[in-house]
Amino acid sequence: MTFDLTLPSDPSLAPGEARCPGPGPKEVVQGEADGVPALLLKDSYAFLGDEDIPFSRYTSQEFFDREMERMWCRTWQWACREEHVPNPGDYHVYDIGPYSVVIVRDEARQLKAFVNSCPHRGMQFCDAGSSGGGKQFLRCPFHGMSWHLDGTLREIPCRWDFPHVKEDSFRLTEVPCDVWEGFVFINLDRKAEPLASYLEVLPEHFRAWNFGDRYVALHMHKELRGNWKMCMEGFMEAYHVLATHPEGLRLSGWANTQYDIFGRHVSRFYQLLSSGNPHYHRQLSQVELFEALGHDPKDLPEGVTARQGHADILRRQFGEQFGVDLSGATNSQMLDSVEYHVFPNACFFPGITIPLIYRFRPLTVDSCIHEILLLHPVPENGPRPAPAEVVKLGLEDSYTTAKGFETNRLAYVLDQDTANFKRQHAGIKASLKPGETLGNYQEARIRSFHKTLDEYLAFP
């Protein structure tokens, strides 16, 4: 074993106070003279308890139904990107469990979200998951009633038979819709708090990342075996790097990852991926680290750290690849794995080399859809590229088979992550122990997520 994993817990510390010894992200990046966004250095953690989390939350049909009835219909979820509906008449359908919403851009270029169900006899206007353009109005395929794109009634065939229908009250059912950094969010609760307050610190924290100036370079859609929460939680901690991603252990201080809980809806991890591991059995020299990062050791300038040299090379490489000037991007923006989770089901990695967006949607209590978007910067001298078409992957398909992702190192990492889920799902079902036992710090985001979920489920 090349790591010292035997450090005992310290009884003099209060629960949740213990941290892995060695420099974490703060210590490593705050000496960098590149203007690290101050909000990256802000930490926010509170001990939330250490009781086991019942496995039934992942396996019970009744719990799943309660999530549908009380949580999914009352939370903001991103439904698509603005570039999926750029012009008047464009539409996109977002489905979550039994709920379905059509997002349209109307003639005034406003985005509207309507429940995908005809006020007449409930027919869906558009197929689940579909999108397209050229609509001048929404026409129901059953009897042909139609509505303008702003939701007002346009026509009822055989109007004489509906004298009791008042134009004003026979509008499409509109639900809240708002945009943050190019992501179109919807909420099925017509009394929902505004998106801006729901997102808590997110708008402030993302101001430095130029997230609106990104486009969807790749969009994958894969079915996973396992409850949606179980799968999502596999991406909310770096504790699993030791056993699941051993190839990264020399380079990543995985156990020194910083975890932050900013509020009910937003949490974060901040993991250094290319600064070496303080717990590797011997410290790599900067030249060795630079070589381990895939470079010729002779290319590391005198007096420059491997992290700095690596970031300088990536700024040039990615700048050329994307057609953007990345000279102002900080090392942490270039290199580190920074993930924000937004309750209930989205993860945003704003980095340049890890530009991932995840969304998890339940199919059944035992399965879910995991969507992954790669967001690349829009070229400075070119038009905004159209968003990538969805690549669908089956239960057993590797991410390395997705066109455009085959040689991306992240594809292998995602295969390692998702290979766990089949076993974890089976193991949870087989367990005679009633719940899972979480680490106080490294798995605190999972506990926080369940706490917020309980708050939604408790609501009448």
Q: Which does 218 bind (CB under 5 to 8 A by kind): Fe ion, ligand FES, none?
A: none
Q: Which does 181 bind (CB under 5 to 8 A by kind): Fe ion, ligand FES, none?
A: none
String of contacts with ligand FES for each residue 92-121, x by CB under 6 A: --------------------------x-xx
The least distance separating ligand FES from the CB of residue 143, rounded to whole angstroms, comes to 3
Q: Which does 410 bind (CB under 5 to 8 A by kind): ligand FES, Fe ion, none?
A: none
The least distance separating ligand FES from the CB of residue 125, rounded to whole angstroms, comes to 8
Among positions 67, 181, 336, 417, the unique one binding Fe ion when judged by CB under 5 A: 417
Q: Which does 281 bind (CB under 5 to 8 A by kind): Fe ion, ligand FES, none?
A: none
Q: How many residues bind ligand FES (CB under 6 A)?
A: 8
The least distance separating Fe ion from the CB of residue 255, rounded to whole angstroms, comes to 14
Q: Which does 417 bind (CB under 5 to 8 A by kind): ligand FES, Fe ion, none?
A: Fe ion
Q: Report how far residue 442's alpha carbon sits from residue 413's, in angstroms, rounded to the nearest whole number.
A: 19
The least distance separating ligand FES from the CB of residue 162, rounded to whole angstroms, comes to 11
**Is residue 126 near ligand FES by the rule CB under 6 A?**
no
**Which tokens is 220 given?**
């994958």
**Is residue 143 near ligand FES by the rule CB under 6 A?**
yes
Binders of ligand FES in range 382-421 (CB under 6 A): none
**Is residue 145 near ligand FES by the rule CB under 6 A?**
yes
Q: Which is nearer to Fe ion, 178 or 233 (CB)?
A: 233
The least distance separating ligand FES from the CB of residue 147, rounded to whole angstroms, comes to 10
**Is residue 140 near ligand FES by the rule CB under 6 A?**
yes
Q: Which is nearer to ligand FES, 3 or 142 (CB)?
A: 142
Residue with tokens 């005198």: 302
Q: Which does 118 bind (CB under 5 to 8 A by kind): ligand FES, Fe ion, none?
A: ligand FES
**Is residue 142 near ligand FES by the rule CB under 6 A?**
yes
**Is residue 138 near ligand FES by the rule CB under 6 A?**
no
Cis amide linkage into residue 344, ω under 30° from 0: yes
Q: Which is nearer to ligand FES, 47 or 142 (CB)?
A: 142
The three state secondary structure string of the chain is: CCECCCCCCCCCCCCCCCCCCCCCHHHHHCCCCCCCCHHHHCCCCCCCCCCCEECHHHHCHHHHHHHHHHHHHHCCEEEEEHHHCCCCCCEEEEEECCEEEEEEECCCCCEEEEECCCCCCCCCCCCCCCEECCCCEEECCCCCCEEECCCCEEECCCHHHCCCCCCHHHCCCEECEEEECCEEEECCCCCCCCHHHHCCCHHHHHHHHCHHHEEEEEEEEEEEECCHHHHHHCCCCCCCHHHHCHHHCCCCCHHHCEEEECCCCEEEEEECCCCCCCCECCCCCHHHHHHHCCCCHHHCCCCCCHHHHHHHHHHHHHHHHHCCCCCCCCHHHHHCEEEEEECCCEEECCCCCCCEEEEEEEEECCEEEEEEEEEEECCCCCCCCCCCCEEEECCCCCHHHCCCCCCCHHHHHHHHHHHHHHHHHHHHHHCCCCEECCCCCCCHHHHHHHHHHHHHHHCC
Q: Which range touches Fe ion (CB under 5 A), out of 2-10, 317-325, 347-355, 412-420? A: 412-420
Q: How many residues bind Fe ion (CB under 5 A)?
A: 1
Q: Which does 316 bind (CB under 5 to 8 A by kind): Fe ion, ligand FES, none?
A: none
Q: Can you say whether the dihedral through the CA atoms of 435, 231, 279, 338 is positive or negative? A: negative
For 306, counting Cβ atoms within 10 Å of its Cβ (0-12 exposed, 13-18 middle, 19+ buried), the class is buried
Q: Which does 142 bind (CB under 5 to 8 A by kind): ligand FES, Fe ion, none?
A: ligand FES
Q: Which does 175 bind (CB under 5 to 8 A by kind): Fe ion, ligand FES, none?
A: none
Q: Which range touches ligand FES (CB under 6 A), out of 3-11, 140-148, 307-315, 415-423? A: 140-148
Binding site for Fe ion (CB under 5 A): 417
Binding site for ligand FES (CB under 6 A): 118, 120-121, 123, 140, 142-143, 145
